Structure 1
Amino acid sequence: MLGQAVARTASRAGRDGRLRAPCRRAAGRARRQALRAPKVELSGSEKAAILVLSLPDAEARALLERMDADEIESVLGAIPRVEAIGAETQARVLDELRERVEGSAAAAMASPERALDWIDELLPAERAERLRLAAQRDAAPIAWALHPHAPGFVASTIEAEDAQTIALIVSQLPAKRGAAVLGALPAAVRPDVVRRLASLEAVSADVLADVAAGLDELFAERLRAAAPARGVAAAAEVMAALPKPDGDALLDALQQRDEAIAEEIRRSMFTFDHLANVDDRGFKKLLQNVPVEDLVLALKTASPAVRDKVLGNLSNRARQSLLEEEEMMGPKRVSEIEAKQREIVDTARRLAEQGELSLGDDGGEAFA
């Protein structure tokens, strides 16, 4: 498609009288350099981008307006890759597009900033934004690789690198962000980084791209290490978000393969703290099936919401009895308390299966 786009670009330039002369003039400014230049392999979209950037603004716009949206996106998306193209390559491309080229060392290439102005004018908003982001990534790969991360996180991740590498990274960031990263580095590291920063020389685009790729891998590893797997808890959250029939069917199928895991997920989908969401009528039914001494033990580590739910659904006499039992009960092992809470949850699940209560989520939708 890109090769066809280049051919159509050349054809349109030749047919349009306004474009023929400017294109010939642009070609004329670069031809002699092409005769002694090493050949650079370019894609079709890159060749078309060189042609567009070689034209005066009005003629370039006119040429782009004759392309469809896919062609415009391909051509403008290639501009960050060809902005450093020399006059010799420009001349060869224009020769290839059937224009007579004759030249000087200074190619008449427009700036990438001019291309950004065209993006919003010639493409739909969504595609324009995607292309603009791609241009920003290509123009500043290191800043782009680090932009999702806070300066402190950047500093702690790169502080083990050598001072020269850190200086290069800081040099590629906007001044305020670079200062924030530098300030977050260990005090012992900062002077050497600043010294290397002051003596940095020009760095090729290939080196910057390699460093950016390395940063992507480094930060991906750091984020993976900082995000431990949540196992059963994560599975329970996903299952609870499914419609109840789908969740029940999936758990039944899982139980056929691994009964222990299925039961763990079921327990995690509805915990003791979730009892606060049970409707009052059903909760009173639950309290009738739980001995007061079990309830007192389970409430030792209960959330305020569950405690309020229990006290609010007891009669005055039962509430007073529970409070007295609490005062008399001494310290208990956490494992003992959690075991009693699981027993009460199992009772609630059994009553739900019998239709005696509804185990509601935050939205009031039943699940078991």
Structure 2
Amino acid sequence: MTALAVSDPHKPGSATAAKTLSGPQKSLLFLVSLEESAATRILAQLSDEELRQLRKASSELSEASPQVLQEVHREFAERAGKGVPASLKGSASYLRRLAGKALGEGKIAELWSEKSEQGPVAELSKLDTATILGILELEQPQTIAVILAQFDSGKAVDLLSQMPTDRQTQIVLRMARLQTVPASVIADIEREFAEEIAALGDTSGRNIGGLEAAASLIKRLSAEATEGLLEELGKTDATAAEELRRALFTFEDLVRIDGRGMQVLLKEISTDQLVVALKSASDDIKEKVFGNISTRAAAMLKDELEMLGPVRLSDVEAAQRAIVETAMGLERDRKITIAREGGGEYV
């Protein structure tokens, strides 16, 4: 095993000593060495720029030997001394998930969708809405989905909201199905809009974001428009519609429920379920819960959390998902209100 493998398709065996690592790369090593709860708390304190640097580092590193861990993280010498290498191949998705827990899916989905390079699509996004609508008028839904997925969510929703309902449905459905789009397809689309601008040099394709990008976009639509879009989407692809509905509201979004609504929700879920769900929750979520129950109940809940032993991540996520489903049901029944990112309510 190399001391530290750096992603390079032409030199898969190349290595870099710990002393040559950048600050963000060392920070990434530190984070992936921590327990998830500790890493989440650290991420919550970082600025957007620091998160961008970590994101970039996660695409550059693949693995680190115990020796490198000892150099970079002397305080974790015991962990490294066991001879267990730290794999960084999944660090990008791990960092994305932790950041979502720490700062909220809405903020992170938008931050993660930012592009580091400027190209024809970026230039297209700078035009006024009417001009862009005219350019896209005759384009296929798939092409528009790829383009809007790369736009700032505010710009994308402005465009989408001015399109016919049936076209909105087709575009969102295709956007939800997107994942990595081949570089050749991206280049073809970019050449179509700006022949004079060379295609981007990336030959591996581009991660469009798929479901997250679609959810980030329609979160900004009005409640009526969102529900109408999901209903139409359900007629075409019920599975995609349900996945998109779930992506619109995560456990961390519970902070968007007002005080009265939180009290209504807490009456519908069991204490056991709540304790497990709060195991990896952010401080904001915990404070939201504690602030909407009696002082005595809050003290008891805190005691149960402290006494709770290790819990499988899958069990925590299942408990959180169940509570989210309950909240969504209450919202559909108009019993609680969940604030939207751009104002209004979730449906």
Q: Tell me the TM-score range normalised by the shorter chain.
A: 0.3 to 0.5
TM, length-normalised to structure 2: 0.42
Higher relative contact order (CA 8 A, sep 6+): 2
Q: Which has the larger radius of gyration?
A: 1
Task: Name the structure with the higher helix share.
Answer: 1
TM, length-normalised to structure 1: 0.40
